[in-house]
Amino acid sequence: MIKSITASTREIDDADAAVSEITAALDPGNLKKNSIGIISCFSDFCDTGVLKAVCDALPFDCIGATTCLCATEKEIDQIFLTITVLTSDDCEFLTTYIPVSENYEERITSALAGSLEKNGEKPAMLLSFFPLMNSLSGDMILTAVDKVTGGIPLFGTAAVDHNVDYSTSKTIYNGESFREAVVLGAIYGEPKVTFEIASLEENKIRSQKAIITKSDGNMLINVNGKTALEYFEEIGLTKDDLTVGLGMIPFVVDYKDGTKAVARAAFTITPEGHVACGGAMPENATLAIGNIDGTDIVNTSESAIKPLLDKDSFILSYSCAGRYFILGANSTAEAEKISELAEDTQYMFACSGGEICPLPNSEGKLKNYYHNFTNVICRFS
């Protein structure tokens, strides 16, 4: 069984005060034999020394990522550091970080091949924190990790921040922060976990479907035999529409493998009319255009989380920063709805630069996916 304890601080400049606040809330007397800390924080905490001081004061490894909004059952804020401790007598934890600035496949393989086994046992799941990089998509990292681990369930987030170019988004490992490193936390034993996602409502996905006829990883090249831009213009989305709404128009991709369709964000349009997306756009997959507004965001999260709530459980929730931006002046509405619903359930919520969560296929087997425009949810019970 895994128990959780949450703590938070707004002390962004005073390291001593932050440490006192966090350690008092966590109380070492509440810890079981094995523990791991999961951190979400405003990126400035990485630079003021507060993040390092907090992690150095704790007797267990801490992993996580920066964000532009986070919340616990106690409070919601932007300039905030939260830590959730998972603690257990019968589950164990192992952490690592992997620089991926170059030769990412080799580095991931070298770091993980054989090293994740503990007493002959493979992890039940991996808490996963990916960097947000122009040169390396989250799907590419996920595929590389999957290849070496054999598809162990991955759950987590890509780092994000409050800047337009996300230039201070970082992953976190024991108080150090990294622009180009993958951070993983392996959980061993038999944790009771449930995965769920909140994405687009079915009635907000156009019935008009197309086939991805050519792609390269996350680059959408041809749709129905035409360049991506030609296809979008054919169905009424001009280049101006796509440019102005870039990152706000969900592309819904059905892998046709029995899992739920996944949402993708568009990042850039190339001079050739190709579209760089926030995740893999596999050839022969079905493509549709979706729509999402503030009401949808709140409603989908409510529908996904409500059945999971239990006073003896802990909810870990990462929601796409795109959802946060679409909410506009009501940017905290999704977090507030979760807080309202949670009541006695402990939880941590944070905005995400890309969401990592497995989905069951038609045979019920979990398969890892990288998502956009999605709130991914893991319940520990």
Query: What are the pLDDT digits (tens) for 177-234?
Result: 999 999 999 999 999 999 999 999 888 999 999 999 999 988 999 999 999 999 999 9
HSE toward the beta carbon, residue 239, CA cutoff 13 A: 10
Q: List the single range of 34-43, 47-56, 249-258 with lowest mean pLDDT.
A: 249-258
**Amino acid 367: pLDDT:** 94
**Amino acid 191: pLDDT:** 96
**Amino acid 18: pLDDT:** 98
**Amino acid 241: pLDDT:** 76
pLDDT at 242 over 90: no
Domain ranges within the chain, ordered by starting residue: 2-198+295-380, 202-289
Residue carrying the six token digits 């349009």: 269
Share of the chain above pLDDT 90, in %: 80
Please state, in angstroms and rounded to a whole number, the distance separating the CA atoms of residues 326 and 265. 13
Q: Which residues contact 187 (CB under 8 A, 6 or more apart)?
A: 2, 36, 86, 91, 92, 93, 123, 124, 125, 126, 127
CB 84 within 8 A of CB 190: no
CA distances from 262 to 1, 125, 295, 356, 368 (A): 31, 21, 20, 11, 11
pLDDT at 262 over 80: yes
pLDDT at 281 over 90: yes
Q: pLDDT-based confidence at 244, cuts 50/70/90?
A: low
pLDDT at 53 over 80: yes
Share of the chain above pLDDT 70, in %: 99
Q: What are phi and psi of 27, to 5 degrees?
A: 50, 100
**Amino acid 245: pLDDT:** 64
- Give the chain's mean pLDDT: 93
DSSP string, 166-219: -TT--EEETTEEESSEEEEEEEES---EEEEEE---GGGB-S--EEEEEEETTE
pTM: 0.94
Name the residue among 86, 45, 85, 94 with its Cα closest to residue 65: 45
pLDDT at 246 over 70: no
Please give the average per-residue pLDDT across 53-64, as a whole number.
Answer: 98
| Residue 340: strand, helix, or coil | helix
Q: Which residues pair with 294 in a beta bridge?
A: none
For 8-26, write each residue's pLDDT tens digit.
999 999 999 999 999 999 9
Please state, in angstroms and rounded to a whole number, the distance separating the CA atoms of residues 162 and 325. 11
Q: List the single range of 82-96, 156-170, 245-259 with lowest mean pLDDT.
A: 245-259
Q: pLDDT-based confidence at 39, cuts 50/70/90?
A: very high
For 108-124, write each residue's pLDDT tens digit.
999 998 788 877 789 99
